[in-house]
Amino acid sequence: MKFLHPEGWKPALGYANGIITSGQTIYVGGQIGWTADQVFETDDFVGQCLQAMKNIEAILAEAGATPANVVRLTWYVTDKQEYLAAQKALGEAYRSVFGKHFPSMTMVQVADLVEDRAKVEIEATAVI
């Protein structure tokens, strides 16, 4: 895996501009902040993000992968302001699962998610 950062660009903080890889690709469908039993244990934004990331980690483990194999994350949030207000706590939650691995990322605000209580849905692509 090689991180792509064009010469002269400002540093990408908390994400990569691009990554080039080779190997088998794992596509993780959008994960929300509920448990393996499909139960929401919290309505807290950061808590739901943490659970969604743990769900991604569990799916990756099924393929013998870890969060370090992730090359792309797409975040769908229902409230951009809630996302921005939670940056410090969200960064701590992120690092508790992904460490200091920062793949290419996109965050999009959406009008709604399929599950009414869901505040975030995260898709992942990984390569092993």
Quick one: pLDDT at residue 14? Answer: 85
- Contact between 126 and 26 under an 8 Å Cβ cutoff? The reply is yes
* CATH code (residue 114): 3.30.1330.40
- Contact (Cβ atoms closer than 8 angstroms) between residue 119 and residue 33: yes
> According to the model, what pLDDT value does residue 62 have?
96
Q: Report the pLDDT value the prediction gives residue 92, as an integer from 0 to 100.
A: 98
Residue range(s) defining the domain that contains residue 59? 2-127
Position 105, amino acid? M
Task: Output the pTM of the full model.
Answer: 0.92
CA–CA distances in Å: residue 15 to residues 3, 18, 42, 115 = 10, 9, 26, 27
Structural domains counted in the chain: 1
- Run of H or E including 26: strand 25-32
Question: What is the chain's pLDDT, residue by residue, as a tens digit (128 residues)?
Answer: 888 889 999 988 888 888 888 999 999 999 999 999 999 999 999 999 999 999 999 999 999 999 999 999 999 999 999 999 999 999 999 999 999 999 999 999 999 999 999 999 999 999 99
- Work out whether the CA dihedral 31, 96, 80, 41 comes out positive or negative: positive
In this prediction, residue 52 carries a pLDDT of 98
Which pLDDT value is given to residue 100? Answer: 95
